Structure formats: C-alpha cells, structure tokens
Amino acid sequence: METVAVTSDFWRGRRVFITGHTGFKGSWLALWLRQLGADVHGYALHAADGDSMWQATGLADLIGGELADIRDAERLTAAMARQQPELVLHLAAQPLVRESYRTPADTWSTNVTGTLNVLQAVRQCDSVRAVLVVTTDKCYDNREWVWPYREQDALGGHDPYSSSKAAVELLCASWRASFLQAQGVALATARAGNVIGGGDWSAERLLPDILRQWQHDQPVTLRYPGATRPWQHVLEPLHGYLLLAQALLNGQHGADSAWNFGPDTADVASVGAVVAQLAALWPGKPQWQIDATPQPHEAGLLALDSAKARHLLAWKPRWSLPQALAQTVRWHQAWQAGEDMQRHTLTQIEDFQNSTR
C-alpha cells in the first residue's frame, strides 16, 4: 500500500465530522486536524463536569460542534446532513471498564446503538466517502496468552465495555459488506492500546487517578499492580487514525478493514512499573498503596500486534513509554502553572510530528 505522510497539503479544507470531539482523544484529534487545516465539525455530549481537555485548551472557540447524544438518531442524522462531510471519525463512546459494570445497558446502547446510528446516518449522507470507527484493544477474546493479538484473532470481552466494542466490530463488518461498499463508502475500525497524555481527567483510569492524588500530596491506590497493558501516548494512535483515514479517502486497497495501533513490545508494562517510572518524574516523594479488596474482573495480560499498520501504512510508534510519561507530566505541570494549554498542546503535537523513534 502506498504510504502518505500526514500533512496539511492533504487535510487543508477537508470536511471532517467527529463524534466524541469533547472527550480526551477527540479533543486531541480535533485540535490536530484543525492545525492541519481541516474543516472540523463535532458531535458529542457536553464535556464532563470539572476539568477536561476540551475546556483546558479552549476548543469551543476554535471548533464548531453540536452537543447531543449519538443515541438520538434523528438529531445525529440531521447534523451530519447539514455538514456534508467527506470523512466521519467516530470516537464517541462510554469508554470505561469499571463504569460498564455499573451501567451495562447504557454502555451497550451508547457503544452499539450509537455506532449503528452513525452508520445509518452515513448511509443517508451522500457526501461521505470514508468512515473510521474507533474501538479498543479490549475487543479481543482475551486468553491471557503471552503473544500479541492480531486483527484476525477472535473477538470477545468479559466485561460489558469490552463485549460492546467487540459487538461494534461485528456491526461494522456487517454494514460494510451489506450496505457501505455498494455505496462506495470505505469503512475501517481501529483498535488502540491504553492511551495516556495530558488532559485526561477520566475517573478510575490509572494516570488521571495518580495525577489527581499526587498533586494534592495524597497516596494513590492501585487495584491491579501486576496487570500489563500496551501503554502509548495519545498522539500515537491518533497518528495511525490520520494515516488510515488518508488511505481510506485515497481508495487504497485493503484499507477498509480492522487495524491495530499498539506500542513497541518494550512499552508493554505492568501497572506497577508505570507508577514507578511516573514517580521518578514527579517532584517530592509520591506514594502509592495496594487495594486488597475484591475488584471487578479486568484482563491481566494484553498486547497488540501492529505489523499490519507498520507494513501497509508505514505507521510506527514515535515516543517510548518513558517519553510518553514525561510528556504527560509536562502537560499536567504546565496546566497547573496556568499556561496557555492550547498553545502547549499544539507544541506537543508539533514535537511529535518532528520526532523519530
């Protein structure tokens, strides 16, 4: 597959419709696309109460959008029809494993029915040429084996979040074969690892929990210190999404399929190892402790095989785990110091674009 760099020459003036643009990943992606010159329009719920990437970077003044629920099919369809996008990037979701145990029905309706609404809206919008649906590395039937999962491995999911995302993968495969291919619309799904980076204040997620506690000199409680995850800075999979979207829009053979975007093997690390590295970057003497009480099931061992993206999209990670952690701490400390976070974030994006592994 011919490779194309992520440049403003490609993206300038492209009409892009992003669901979930007020979330952590969506905000980073919307700002990056805006920097590249794309005409970006979002559709998402209000940013979460309290601190958020969306608010910290002042994106409401920069990017147009509609604040609504993707489960409102009529409103979503109307919003997409008004914008007449070339490309749809679907990131809106209920993204938390532990929350899915508390609200399983809402998790499934948001993730599965919400995605169905997006695909149905695409069918009614003649301007759309390509769709990228973001799922998760947790969509695989996790066997706790030592080798990474490839795109053709079995789907599954113990918890409601993971299983809902596996269902989204099946939904996308069906709608691609049944409807979208015949309409000339390319559809791909993207599965990324555990993303970290500045501007994530999600509840019950490792780095946000750590930074919240340590900035108040409080110890952080670890639930699964031995669990391993494919950690990566948020810009890594977003770079993959942009390369994949370009391939879809260019009509490149085989792009309309499932893709993994995971870190190098060296960056698959345990929760305990990540906390130790983060503590070395944090001023003072940060503390942590182990929660010995029973916890809901989560995967213990998880890694992704991204050979397909490496070979066919020329995508590869640019920041190691130590670099990703350093960039995350640097962003958080800049925010604490009251810096212009839109400018700081754009500087990190530029640094990422100019870096090589």
pLDDT, averaged per 10 consecutive residues of the chain (357 residues), comes to 75 98 97 97 89 92 94 98 98 94 97 98 98 96 87 95 97 98 98 92 83 86 80 96 98 96 89 89 82 63 91 96 95 95 97 86
Amino acid found at 344:
H
What are the tens digits of pLDDT across the range 201-242?
887 788 888 888 888 888 888 877 888 888 999 999 999 999
Question: What domain range includes position 172?
Answer: 8-352
Which pLDDT score, from 0 to 100, does residue 234 have?
97
3 belongs to a structural domain: no
Inside any domain, residue 240: yes
Q: How far apart are CA 5 and CA 7, in angstroms?
A: 6
Report how far apart, in Å, the C-alpha atoms of 155 and of each of 139, 148, 257, 303, 353 are. Answer: 6, 14, 14, 14, 33
Query: Helices 24-35 and 235-249: crossing angle, nearest 10°?
Result: 60
The predicted pLDDT at position 3 comes to 44
Quick check: is 2 in a domain? no
Using alpha carbons, list the distances in angstroms from residue 318 to 238, 315, 324. Answer: 12, 9, 9
Q: What is the pLDDT of residue 225?
A: 80
Distance CA 186, CA 332 (A): 38
Residue 227 lies in a domain: yes
Q: How many domains does the chain have?
A: 1
Domain for residue 357, yes or no? no
What pLDDT is recorded for position 230?
Answer: 84
Q: Is residue 150 part of a domain?
A: yes
pLDDT digits (tens, 9 = 90+) for 152-211: 999 999 999 999 999 999 999 999 999 999 999 999 999 998 899 999 988 778 888 888
Tokens, residue 55: 């608010």
What is the amino acid identity at position 313?
L
According to the model, what pLDDT value does residue 296 have?
Answer: 66
Does residue 254 sit within a domain? yes
CATH of residue 105: 3.40.50.720
